[in-house]
Structure 1
Amino acid sequence: MKKVLIIFVLFLWFNDSIFSQGKFVVNNLKKSDKVQFKLINNLIIIPVEINDVELAFILDTGVSKTILFNYLNISDSLKIKDTEPIYLRGLGEGESVEALRSRNNKLKVGDAVDMQHELFAVFNDNINFAPRLGVPIHGIIGYDLFKDLVVEINYSRKFIRLTEPERYRYRKCKKCETLNLEFYNNKPYLNAYVKIDNKKIPVKLLIDSGGSDALWLFEDEELGLSHSEKYFNDFLGHGLSGSVYGKRSKLDEFSLNRFVLKNANVAFPDSSSISFAKKNKDRNGSLAGNILKRFNMVLDYQKAVIVLKKNSLFKHEFSYNKSGIELAHDGVRVVQEVDYKLNSNKGLIIEDTNKTNKIILNPSYKISLKPAYTIVELREDSPAERVGLQLGDVVLSVNGKAAHKHNLQDLMKKFYDKEGTRIKLVVERNRRVFTVYFQLENLFQ
């Protein structure tokens, strides 16, 4: 019988001491390379090649090993090598998931290459973050890349720069803050301050670029880490072992030395979802994408420092979902549309001179497959729930515009608008189409 390893993870938690590993080198004369990324829901999505197959990965400082999922349709071309079964456990209230530990793979990010890369391929079809982000995602990479290279992350211009440490040159920067990093299970931590009820409290936080929220704190009455009187229960995110829930609130201040953010979003996850996260007893929470994106930064694991500089996103107001629903891309719908590319045999289009009006005589139609957006989370007593929306409802249009004409992120942004904004949804449930109206609510007033 093959030996089965059980590895506990905090999105994802590994003990790396038992694993051999390869090394990233930059294969060009400069020993440095710039890689563009997409910023989706505050997450960094980078192109990654595994065994010469191009995929899309989340760049996540909160993981210590490379995770591959949503790959079954390309498994033949990937040809992952030297496999051994294991089980992984992550954030959320679900069970451990089966995976393969695979050694000696070629992994490439830009010109940075590791010829003996170890990764973990997850079998479970349900471990798929693509529906929540609206774009294909095949995995997560973190410590394996950061341990070998100095990584610059430019959130404002959406690129990372990977440089071999002996070639990296620090520039003088009066507007920068340099903070020391501490490591636990190969994950980076920094020290910061939060102000709650006018009390300034020191906290040790995991730097978690793979989280889309702003800040998570673990409740601790002795330290004063608890939500204010104004809070609400909400869906916080989706981890390897399922959904994470908790309380949303606001901080008076969050500070990293002289950089201070006021009225920042904060969430206090339920203890059942983060039991493995608390293995580091000194940890007080996570610093995630909605704060990290407000800085351009340099992460240097070998020198154990992070250099931060405010960028154009620093003063963006902290917002949150005021509707109570979360949508996910859920396959496709069949949509019938007028085909405007008509010829004389099929019909006639008459347009006025300013192109604003059309009269279609004998129109023809085309059938298309369009994205379907389904309600996958519904907050109790939210505006959306009170008008009768349910899990599984398919959103056909928002404020008069077909849902499939939006990408998922643009669609979700509408629910982060100002208090009182009126939302009109056309929804399908069990082949019945109906319309609902509600207004966005501010729960912190």
Structure 2
Amino acid sequence: MMKKFFILLLLLLCDFCFLTAQSKFLIHNKHKTDKISFKLINNLVVIPVEVNGVELSFILDTGVSKPFIFNNIYDSLKIKNTEKIFIRGLGEGEPIEALKSSNNIFKIGDAIKLNQDLYAIKELGLNFAPRLGVLVNGIIGLDLFRDFIVEINYSSKFIKLTEPTYYIYKNCKRCERFNLEFYNDKPYINAQVSLKSKKIPVKLLIDSGGSDSLWLFEDDSLGIISGDNFFRDFLGHGLSGSVYGKRGKAESFSLKSFTLKKTNVAYPDANSVFFAKKVKYRNGSIAGNILKRFNIIVDYRDSLITLKKNKYFKEKFNYNKSGIELAHDGLRFVKEYEPFMYRLNIKEGNSINNKGGIKLVFDKKYKMSLKPAYAIVELRKDSPAEKAGLKKGDIIISINGKSSHLLKLQQIMTMFYGNTGKIIKLKIERNKQILNYNFKLENLLK
């Protein structure tokens, strides 16, 4: 009887240990590591995530402490045990309402967590997918980085998750390793920026969920100022609304021995980052357009991050010279032509040479198809596009003779980052009218 009781107790203890362990992510394979491919969209890492058995796409974001989803998929996940909360992010708007849910099952490759908190954003207008041009359902950060050592290979587009006790560091002579500091569970790194020939040490949030390069909070006492060489622009969309500010160039940006020249830098308006600036000694953020230039090992356990230059390191920093920001704006009917061939029987005496036979005739037919529509959602004041007469809400029909529905959103946006003086020809639809506009890309920075 004692033996039977001991076995039963042992089984119960094992079950308890398993359930306790599943309060964090675990790799369910013998190697305790797994590699997951990702999409690099506008400098953002988009990974496949399965939530409660539903396959989704999440942005991997070091700048968020809890995963959240957008309201458009809330019902399909059959979320229970919810409570209403309010959260705040970047932007000048008010805190937004969200539903907190517990006991959700998350699966990323072979990594599984059985008791994951999840936040569902109820704001109808808050969805980053239209601006990225690909389906994105949510964002995840801290939970993954806290439980694993995470390698982000931007050049080969995969992340590698390894349970910390199984990770072995390799010698890397071309790497630089940095100590991380944490505030509110978010990682910060020390770097150096050169402005007006002055080298300034800065403490920056590592924000892989931002597509920009470098954000700095202006501070006259530290010499962090935009000077006269800037232009005002839309900088991004945060949880609490749109963020606007100045865009300029830093002479250089350094992470120990790694130095990037003529780096893009943005100075967000103070109201948009009021709460972000409350972190003591924080000077800004380092985001995707810098991070993607390295292959990275993130180790929250030992508060370390390792960087190694990759193929993107020498890529020139550029910016949108048109003044246009586009977003996916539903679907529109497009007339598509398809070539086809038919046989025409020719009776004797009716052909040109009076010989009967068969004539092959090539023609074309068309069909109406639903294709993605792209609309102007932001238009910089006094930009080349605005001066040409374009307006917010205009639907792009074609760009430089190419039908917009044949292009991905990021392909179109890339054209706006072209060389100064390049001519952009747009055919647009406005109030059911088709209009044509031309303008040249303009360099606003000296």
1:220 corresponds in structure 2 to 219
1:66 corresponds in structure 2 to 67
Please list, as runs of the form range in 1=range in 2, the aligned pairs for 1:430-445 lying within 5 A after superposition.
430-445=431-446
Where does the alignment leave 5 or more consecutive residues of structure 2 unmatched? Answer: 1-21, 345-359
Please list, as runs of the form range in 1=range in 2, the aligned pairs for 1:142-161 lying within 5 A after superposition.
142-161=141-160
Please report how far the alpha carbon of residue 364 of structure 1 lies from its aligned counterpart in structure 2 after TM superposition. 2.6
Please report how far the alpha carbon of residue 341 of structure 1 lies from its aligned counterpart in structure 2 after TM superposition. 4.5
1:373 maps onto 2:378 in alignment? no
RMSD: 1.5
1:46 maps onto 2:38 in alignment? no
Please report how far the alpha carbon of residue 360 of structure 1 lies from its aligned counterpart in structure 2 after TM superposition. 5.2
Amino acid at match of 2:161: L
Name the SS of the counterpart of 1:166 in structure 2: helix
Please report how far the alpha carbon of residue 342 of structure 1 lies from its aligned counterpart in structure 2 after TM superposition. 5.6
2:126 corresponds in structure 1 to 127
1:323 corresponds in structure 2 to 322
Amino acid at match of 1:204: K
1:294 maps onto 2:290 in alignment? no
For residues 329 and 163 of structure 2, the distance between their equivalents in structure 1, rounded to whole angstroms, comes to: 41
Please list, as runs of the form range in 1=range in 2, the aligned pairs for 1:403-442 lying within 5 A after superposition.
403-442=404-443
For residues 115 and 252 of structure 1, the distance between their equivalents in structure 2, rounded to whole angstroms, comes to: 48
| The 10-residue stretch of structure 1 (51-60 or 122-131) with the greater mean CA deviation from structure 2 | 122-131
In structure 2, the CA distance between the partners of 1:191 and 1:359, relative to structure 1 (3 Å rule), is farther
Deviations 1:332-363 (CA, angstroms, capped at 9, x unpaired): 11111223256559xxxxxxxxxxxx9854x4
Please report how far the alpha carbon of residue 51 of structure 1 lies from its aligned counterpart in structure 2 after TM superposition. 0.6
- Asked if structure 2 preserves the Cα contact closer than 8 Å seen for 1:244 and 1:269, the reply is yes
2:349 corresponds in structure 1 to none
Please list, as runs of the form range in 1=range in 2, the aligned pairs for 1:357-372 lying within 5 A after superposition.
361=363, 363-372=364-373
| The 10-residue stretch of structure 1 (203-212 or 92-101) with the greater mean CA deviation from structure 2 | 92-101
The percent identity for this pair of structures is: 60
- Asked if structure 2 preserves the Cα contact closer than 8 Å seen for 1:22 and 1:118, the reply is no
- Asked if structure 1 preserves the Cα contact closer than 8 Å seen for 2:428 and 2:434, the reply is yes
Please report how far the alpha carbon of residue 229 of structure 1 lies from its aligned counterpart in structure 2 after TM superposition. 1.9
For residues 271 and 143 of structure 2, the distance between their equivalents in structure 1, rounded to whole angstroms, comes to: 29
Please list, as runs of the form range in 1=range in 2, the aligned pairs for 1:12-411 lying within 5 A after superposition.
22-72=23-73, 75-76=75-76, 78-341=77-340, 361=363, 363-411=364-412
- Asked if structure 2 preserves the Cα contact closer than 8 Å seen for 1:236 and 1:244, the reply is yes
- Asked if structure 2 preserves the Cα contact closer than 8 Å seen for 1:70 and 1:137, the reply is no
- Asked if structure 2 preserves the Cα contact closer than 8 Å seen for 1:98 and 1:124, the reply is yes
| The 10-residue stretch of structure 1 (238-247 or 334-343) with the greater mean CA deviation from structure 2 | 334-343
Amino acid at match of 2:409: L
Amino acid at match of 1:27: H
For residues 87 and 361 of structure 2, the distance between their equivalents in structure 1, rounded to whole angstroms, comes to: 59
For residues 380 and 365 of structure 2, the distance between their equivalents in structure 1, rounded to whole angstroms, comes to: 42
Name the SS of the counterpart of 2:204 in structure 1: strand
Name the SS of the counterpart of 1:381 in structure 2: coil
Please report how far the alpha carbon of residue 81 of structure 1 lies from its aligned counterpart in structure 2 after TM superposition. 2.7
1:17 corresponds in structure 2 to none
Runs of 4+ in 1 over 3 A off after TM superposition: 341-345, 358-361
| The 10-residue stretch of structure 1 (175-184 or 238-247) with the greater mean CA deviation from structure 2 | 238-247
Amino acid at match of 1:437: N
Q: Is the radius of gyration larger for structure 1 or structure 2? A: 2
Deviations 1:302-331 (CA, angstroms, capped at 9, x unpaired): 100000000010000000000000010100
Amino acid at match of 1:131: P
Higher helix share: 2
Please report how far the alpha carbon of residue 427 of structure 1 lies from its aligned counterpart in structure 2 after TM superposition. 0.9
In structure 2, the CA distance between the partners of 1:149 and 1:333, relative to structure 1 (3 Å rule), is same
Deviations 1:39-73 (CA, angstroms, capped at 9, x unpaired): 0000000000001111000000000001111434x
Amino acid at match of 1:75: D
Amino acid at match of 2:278: K
Deviations 1:217-257 (CA, angstroms, capped at 9, x unpaired): 00000000011321000000111111110000000110000
For residues 190 and 401 of structure 1, the distance between their equivalents in structure 2, rounded to whole angstroms, comes to: 43
TM-score (ref. length: structure 2): 0.90
Deviations 1:386-426 (CA, angstroms, capped at 9, x unpaired): 01100000110000010111000001000000001111000
For residues 340 and 163 of structure 2, the distance between their equivalents in structure 1, rounded to whole angstroms, comes to: 54
- Asked if structure 1 preserves the Cα contact closer than 8 Å seen for 2:247 and 2:265, the reply is yes
In structure 2, the CA distance between the partners of 1:211 and 1:359, relative to structure 1 (3 Å rule), is farther
Where does the alignment leave 5 or more consecutive residues of structure 1 unmatched? Answer: 1-20, 346-357
| The 10-residue stretch of structure 1 (93-102 or 156-165) with the greater mean CA deviation from structure 2 | 93-102
- Asked if structure 1 preserves the Cα contact closer than 8 Å seen for 2:340 and 2:365, the reply is no
- Asked if structure 2 preserves the Cα contact closer than 8 Å seen for 1:228 and 1:250, the reply is no
| The 10-residue stretch of structure 1 (63-72 or 185-194) with the greater mean CA deviation from structure 2 | 63-72
For residues 362 and 220 of structure 2, the distance between their equivalents in structure 1, rounded to whole angstroms, comes to: 68
For residues 396 and 343 of structure 2, the distance between their equivalents in structure 1, rounded to whole angstroms, comes to: 36
In structure 2, the CA distance between the partners of 1:81 and 1:258, relative to structure 1 (3 Å rule), is same
